Amino acid sequence: MSGTLVLVRHGQSEWNLKNLFTGWRDPGLTEQGHAEAKSAGEKLKARGLKFDIAFTSALSRAQTTCQHILDVLGQGDLKTIRNAALNERDYGDLNGLNKDDARAKWGEEQVHIWRRSYDTPPPGGESLKDTGARVWPYYLHDMQKHVLSGGTVLVAAHGNSLRALIMALDGISGPDIVKLELGTGVPIVYKLNADSTVASKDVLA
């Protein structure tokens, strides 16, 4: 028996628009972000998908995206589990800073390392490896069982928490996963085999 796992990065947030490090801060979606989330719902509706359960983070931009998708599908009251394990990477001292200002303070090379290395965290924050250390156990213990039992599962989360999941699902290395760009509001539809391996992957760009 195979199941379906759909991953969606939240729609554009107010801080994405302002080029700020967001991390665990909690800005809302922009007008474009709301539209992107609803568009994700329409793409999934066109595929005839209906969800059995949804998971999202403790941050409002992911929760709002999740709700928009479910509303479009006529599933606004679907059981939705919110957990900080799916939160964006914590950028620590960079949270709330403009990315250009951070480069001016610490240097372009250092900020690039913090943003794009796999295992070097910014001061007071998490690396992508650290993010994976909370995402992977949550997926294995709380989410995967719903997919492997034949269910259809929605995960509305963040660029780096989803990178960590995709890294595990696709078998991508640490140095390569940091290069993966995830569009806001773009659904990624996985079909999983009963042994948890990936049967197919479809990006609904």
pLDDT in tens, 134-169: 999 999 999 999 999 999 999 999 999 999 999 999
What are the angstrom distances between the C-alpha of 21 and each of 34, 36, 194, 199, 201?
Answer: 20, 20, 38, 35, 30
Give the pair of three-digit tokens for residue 19: 């080029």
Which residue type sits at 31? E
Please state the pTM of the whole predicted model: 0.95
- 88 catalytically annotated: yes
Active-site pick, 36, 88, 126, 146 = 88
Known binding residue 134? Answer is: no
Active-site pick, 10, 68, 146, 158 = 10
Q: How confident is the model over 8-55, as pLDDT tens digits?
A: 999 999 998 898 999 999 999 999 999 999 999 999 999 999 999 999
Nearest 10 degrees: CA dihedral of 155, 156, 161, 165? 30
Give the pair of three-digit tokens for residue 48: 């005839």
Specify the CATH class of 3-203 in words. alpha beta
Distance separating alpha carbons of residues 201 and 197, to the nearest angstrom: 11
Known binding residue 114? Answer is: no
What are the angstrom distances between the C-alpha of 59 and each of 101, 111, 134, 184?
Answer: 25, 24, 16, 15
- 34 catalytically annotated: no
Q: Is the pLDDT of residue 1 over 80?
A: no
Known binding residue 88? Answer is: yes
Tokens 């992508």 map to which residue? 128
Nearest 10 degrees: CA dihedral of 25, 22, 111, 138? 80
